[in-house]
Structure 1
Amino acid sequence: MDAVTARTGTATAGQGVAEDPRAGVPFVDTPTRVSPRDARELSRRFFDRLAVLEEGTPEHQYVRNTLIEMNLSLVRYAASRFRGRGDATEDIVQVGTIGLIKAIDRFELSREVEFTSFAVPCIVGEIKRFFRDTSWAVHVPRRLQEARVELARATDELQTRLGRMPTTRELSQLMSLSEEEVVEARKASNCYTSASLDAALASESGADGESLLADFIGVEEPALELVEDFHSLAPLIAALEPREQRILHLRFVEERTQAEIGRELGISQMHVSRLISRVVRRLRTGLLGPDLA
């Protein structure tokens, strides 16, 4: 109790820890410096008080915040299990703190379990969700993320048992999934990590100079530039007269000949040609401007 007293305020002889008049709980001067052992002792009293305070009041907020700060050591303990995952430790601690807050809001003394036993799984679960939702290079459905883990375990088990790589059918039988679902899980595994298109590739011949990954994958799609043109043309076409819109539709969508269009509209083929040329010229000017049209 001496350690608790030293960290939680002044106390007169024989009276134990001084009470905080704001909330009817022990006064904690620096909650983050309370030892884990003292935090367990104090947390019981704070939870007992938290249960009777009205939510939203300054007293309730004080008790809740003090509980969070006193138990941050649980977050640091849980975060230490995830070192080496590539994410900054402070990011993991921040996520774990969310798990601690959820545990405090859900904990009930009537459970008759230590708060630490309840809180640590909540904190670890929150951190695992963080990795599951953010570590994938490409977002895939949750069921496929979970199937990937099951696939890895099943593959290791069967490889050890059979002494070779298992077949898709053998994996599907062990995992109680269809062969199509196993194949889908394998494809999803490829989405976990990715390489930058700007990644440099070493030359096999040892020649000077670097090649980029982008130089070897994908092809140029000429029609891709048309997408922007179509969006730009849409308001220009909408501003045409109905007959002009009809002529463009017959010529460039239904691919009718000028003679066929003339017969349908009751005009000569020559007139159709002049109308098309005039409309196309107007659209080109609206798209490119008068200097480039």
Structure 2
Amino acid sequence: MDYDYIKVLPNKRLSDAEIKCLIRRSQQGDLEARNILIENNLRLVASVVKRFQHRGFDSDDLFQIGSIGLMKAIDGFDLSYNVRFSTYAVPKIVGEIKRYIRESSTIRVSRSLKELAQKAIQIQEQLTFDLGRTPTVQEVAEHLGVDREDIVVALDAIKPVHSLHQIIHENDGDPLLLEDQIAATQADPGEDTTIIIKRMMEKLEPEDQKFLMLRYFAEKSQTEVAKILGISQAQVSRIEKRIMLEMRKYY
């Protein structure tokens, strides 16, 4: 987002008395008052978002998250506070953005993983042209000189931003696609579990992190993971139990 757009945001200044009157009305359920407050504080959100530029996050996303912080500030402001609303709101906006960044950064895709995924996609396109068909994961892996599971993990790790039609797994030599495998949104009931897993994963060994990426982020079944890793389903079950016990020490 180009933050020159801030020039076109509402520039009307409300007095402290007007703000508190609107907050009181908003907290009593007046949607018009709430919208006026939000509209007249978008510049405040934009100014906070500018602090977090150049961190690899989309500014539009941060602006939306900051706006949520603003709304929480409107709902939570105690009218008996002897402080300006902006003084109370800024930490709320900052806190909401930092929480989003913290939770999103726990499993940020490493540069090497991104590079591998990009190479895999390029090779897949090249082999599709050369072979006249979509190559299997194994063929892509052999071409790059890496393990098949590394290709699967790399492509799954970047799946929110690459094509739904990229290969992510094979079954009996036939390529499967990423289509319909997109992870649940934040509104999903399992979100809290996912966040916890993300926070704990960085404490685990790389191989265990790969395992959890397959099970909980690529949403592979134990049978699928067993095929990818070349082990039995019983071994997958034992590994999963061991990792869960390990993670309990950190939670």
Say which one has the larger Rg: 1
Give the TM interval when normalised to the shorter protein: 0.3 to 0.5
TM (norm. structure 2) is 0.43
TM (norm. structure 1) is 0.37
Give the structure, 1 or 2, with the largest relative contact order (CA under 8 Å, sep 6 or more).
2
